[in-house]
Amino acid sequence: MENGENNNLVPNIEVPTVPVVEQPTQPVVNTPVQSESQVMVQATNSEQPKQKKKIDKNLIVRLAAVLVVVLAVVAYFIFFFEWKPKEDPSDPKSVAYTYINSIIEKDFSRSFKYVYLPNNSFVDGDDYFTFISNNKKYNNISDKKIDSVNKIDKSQTNAEYEVILNDNTNYNLKLNMDSSGNWFVVVDNLFIEDWKIEVPGGSKLYIDDTLVDNNLAKKSDDHDIYTIPAIAPSKKEFKIVTSFDEYKTSFDVAGSNSGDKIIPELNKEDEINSSLEYIKDTWNSLYKDYLSNTPKTDVLKDYFDSSFKEEDMDKYYTKSFDSLTRKGNKNSVYTNIELSDIKINENKKSYIEGNNIIKIEFGYRVDFLVDYVYSGSTDSKEYMTRYSSIELIKDNNKYKMHKITDEKLLNYLKYIDKEFK
């Protein structure tokens, strides 16, 4: 059976060998499988020329826009831009610009900040506003602009700059530097320099309610003469405080020049009247003391201030009343002498001489009897009048004689009947 089965098998037939002809070797190219992203890149690359054209057009548009902006900025600077330096008081060029520009903008409080004024000046913002408003060279410039500021000259503490407006108007400004290093504009004719005012010595002086530094005063007899470095030529209010009272007066400085001096009249009516009454009472009391032989030391203590010495009383007391009593002709003497009336000399105003000193220019009348020495005579009533002056000092609300400016106050000499002389 095994042999039968083998008979059914395909017999082993030898197949002749066919010779293999060798083909020329070709390089093997491996073509990788392309991914989706690579495909997209290739597609994009295929569109490159087209996209480049589009970018070039956008660039041109952008460059044109930039050019337009640049031209607009240039045009603005040429036609509209105004140079405005930083406001700096330590830079004279900046100060020159700021000063004129503030006037153009009518910001006068700002321009006034840059005005040169000496120490202890009496020029305020109102004075400056009045001055600048009335100054024709600054009229009608509110619509102008500053074109340039040019240095003309400059030293360590002085400078000069030219400010030119866009209509070719020009302003030459002089500037001074102060001790702190800041610059200020010198404004011509804004104030009067070294103006003087004479007041009672030792009193306090106020100008427009500002106390004046007494270091500005020099003494002259019983007065203080203040020299004000700068004062505006306008109406000023003055207040002078003495031990007598507070005196107020106004004065228009516009009528003055640099170096001028004024002397305000201080003649408070109540004080003058009380002084006159004191003089009248003192004159009569002195005459009574003379008749009663009161010691000179007591007379000095009661009626005169410490400047009078006992020996001075011969001239102002004893000899005066001796002469007055013995006047008349050889047959008569004067008796019942009394100072009956006293009044202010209207031609010579009474005024305060010092802080506690008042000078009185007055007229007075003396009544008396002519006592004839021969028998059978009848006394006659007479009177004499004249003008005189005296200085009183006030201490603790009490007057004393400070200076008798007319030695004939207590003496008879050419009295004129019925008329003050």
> 175 near 215, Cβ under 8 Å?
no
Task: Assess whether 232 and 151 both reside in one domain.
Answer: no
Does residue 360 belong to any structural domain of this protein?
yes
According to the model, what pLDDT value does residue 78 have? 58
Continuous H helices in 268-405: 269-291, 296-303, 313, 319-325
Task: Assess whether 135 and 181 both reside in one domain.
Answer: yes
According to the model, what pLDDT value does residue 118 have? 94
Cα 349 to Cα 387: distance, rounded to the nearest angstrom: 12
Count of the separate structural domains present in the chain = 4
Q: Which of 201, 236, 262 is the last residue of a domain?
A: 262
Task: Assess whether 343 and 379 both reside in one domain.
Answer: yes
Dihedral over Cα of 350, 352, 356, 359: its sign: negative
Residue at 408: amino acid letter: K
According to the model, what pLDDT value does residue 81 have? 54
Task: Assess whether 299 and 396 both reside in one domain.
Answer: yes
Cα 177 to Cα 159: distance, rounded to the nearest angstrom: 8
Task: Assess whether 108 and 60 both reside in one domain.
Answer: no
pLDDT tens series, the chain, 421 aa: 444 444 443 444 444 454 544 545 455 445 455 555 554 545 445 555 555 555 577 777 777 778 888 887 766 655 555 556 789 999 999 999 999 999 999 999 999 999 999 999 999 999 999 999 999 989 889 899 999 999 999 999 999 999 999 999 999 999 999 999 999 999 999 999 999 999 988 899 999 999 999 999 999 888 899 999 999 999 999 999 988 888 898 999 998 999 999 988 777 778 888 889 999 999 999 999 999 999 988 999 999 988 888 887 777 788 778 777 766 566 777 888 899 999 887 776 667 777 888 888 888 888 888 888 776 677 788 888 888 888 898 877 789 988 887 766 665 544 445 555 4
Does residue 38 belong to any structural domain of this protein?
no
Q: How far is CA 371 from CA 130, 143, 325, 332, 374, in A?
A: 72, 92, 11, 5, 9
| Among 245, 298, 301, 304, residue whose Cα is nearest residue 279 | 304
Quick one: which H or E segment has residue 104?
helix 92-104
Task: Assess whether 302 and 216 both reside in one domain.
Answer: no
Q: For the whole model, what pTM was predicted?
A: 0.65
According to the model, what pLDDT value does residue 55 have? 58
Cβ within 8 Å of residue 247, ≥6 positions away: 239, 240, 241, 264, 266, 268, 352
According to the model, what pLDDT value does residue 407 have? 66
Task: Assess whether 139 and 202 both reside in one domain.
Answer: no
Cα 300 to Cα 309: distance, rounded to the nearest angstrom: 8
Query: Angle at Cα 168 formed by Cα 166 and Cα 171, nearest 5°?
Result: 100
- For residue 406, the domain's CATH number is 3.10.450
User: Which residue matches tokens 């040019």?
Assistant: 150
Does residue 22 belong to any structural domain of this protein?
no
Continuous H helices in 247-355: 269-291, 296-303, 313, 319-325
According to the model, what pLDDT value does residue 77 have? 58
The domain of 145 spans 92-186
Cβ within 8 Å of residue 41, ≥6 positions away: none
According to the model, what pLDDT value does residue 216 have? 97
According to the model, what pLDDT value does residue 235 have? 94
